[in-house]
Amino acid sequence: MNDSNEHAYIARNDLVRSAIARQSQAEPTQAQTKQVATKPQTVNTQLLNIRSNPNAKAGVVAQVGQDSIVLVNKTQGSWSEISYNETRGWVASRYLTVAENPIYAHVTAIKLNVRNAPPTGAVLFQLNKGDKVTIDSSRNNWVKIKYKDKSGWVAQRFLDLT
């Protein structure tokens, strides 16, 4: 092996080490995104920026005030993708705490199918516009609800948090 080949090999190793170091400092990748069911969350800071991406430098799409209830769709590193009213975006997870009291919502659709699993699970029963449900948890724009003695999953867009 001559010196130029050795030098190229060393440079390649340095390049790989550099790429690995940069990757460890980067924002979490899509593969690191977790879509787990989470309880409704309460904002624990005076005013929380909702951002377009999971990055402190990303644009602010909206703001939400202290003690507001939000639903977490998924997490990515130290960020949570939330839904709040008609807004969907990313917030730093440290500004959210699990809501202690039951969270209620009203059905906004004329008829709403309640499924055994999102998004295409079997329909268990239907709710009517105005029915009041208790939110148990949320996952990727689906909400596990309780209604009387029944429970199941509904699309979040058909609920109005109260």
Residues 96-124: pLDDT tens digits? 999 888 899 999 999 999 999 999 999 99
Whether 39 maps to a domain, the answer reads yes
Q: Are residues 81 and 109 in the same domain?
A: no
Whether 83 maps to a domain, the answer reads yes
φ/ψ of residue 140, rounded to 5 = 45, 55
Name the more confident of 5 and 110: 110
Which domain, by its residues, includes 59?
Answer: 35-98
CA distance 44 to 49: 12
Scan for tokens 């969350």, then name that residue. Answer: 41
Candidates 94, 90, 81; CA nearest to 36 is 81
pLDDT value of residue 33: 52
CA distance 81 to 114: 23
Q: Give this prediction's pTM.
A: 0.68
Q: How many domains does the chain have?
A: 2
Cβ proximity of 68 and 132 under 8 Å: no
CA distance 133 to 117: 17
Whether 11 maps to a domain, the answer reads no
pLDDT in tens, 25-44: 344 445 455 555 678 999 99
CA 3 to chain centre: 53
Beta strands in the chain (DSSP E): 33-34, 41-43, 47-51, 60-65, 69-76, 79-84, 87-92, 96-98, 103-107, 111-115, 123-128, 132-139, 142-147, 150-155, 159-161
> What is the pLDDT of the chain when averaged over all its residues?
82
Name the more confident of 93 and 24: 93
